[in-house]
Amino acid sequence: MKAPFIRRLAEAAVERGVLAVRISFRYAETKGSASKDLSKEEDDLLGAVRFLRGEFPSGAIFVAGKSMGARVCARGSADPDIAGLVALGYPLHPMFKPQVRNPPEWPKLVKPALFVQGDHDPFCELARLREDLSHLTASHDLVVIPDAGHSFEPKAMKRDTFPEVRDAVFAWIAKRAGG
């Protein structure tokens, strides 16, 4: 919830008149560690989705997560109240080890998804991601942020990559939410 990148994205949503809710996973609140299979974090995410659906009985709910949060969103994406997911800096494999295959949440990606990746992300080799995306049954889009790392930090000239990420996310959501 306190991650600066996610905070900026939520603030950008509010500026556009889009409701954005940030959550903290329970392990972050207790200064513990994430569950090995991310099941507790998935429960946290789906609890927030249930709350939102209770407050807003209609309307599309999109979930978004950065890095491990993207994996959690993938795990929960089959939930009937989730319209789609935004994966920012998806950690497809361990750092610099694209040969490690089959992330356990990958088969659960059953809703439309947007992947936004830096082209210098050591946790997600783009060729490997493109190959794996071709096996998804749900619609998906990939936006590559050039000269950017896992957290979209610039790798060449100094620049703020946030506008590129923000614009890609909101254009994708608007297309799916009907405006």
Residues 2-46: tens digit of each pLDDT? 788 899 999 999 999 888 999 988 887 777 888 888 999 999 999
CB 95 within 8 A of CB 123: yes
Residues 148-171: tens digit of each pLDDT? 999 999 998 889 999 999 999 999
Average pLDDT, the chain: 92
Taken in order of first residue, the domains within the chain and their CATH numbers are 4-177 (3.40.50.1820)
Distance CA 89, CA 87 (A): 6
Average pLDDT (123-132) is 94
**Identity of residue 27:** Y
Whether the pLDDT of residue 106 is over 90: the answer is no
Whether the pLDDT of residue 93 is over 70: the answer is yes
- Kindly report which listed range (24-38, 60-74, 117-131, 135-149) carries the lowest average pLDDT score: 24-38
Distance CA 54, CA 119 (A): 39
What ranges make up the beta strands (E) of 4-162?
61-66, 82-88, 113-118, 140-145
Q: Could you tell me the pTM of the whole model?
A: 0.93
CB 110 within 8 A of CB 171: no
Half-sphere exposure of 59 (CA within 13 A, CB side): 14
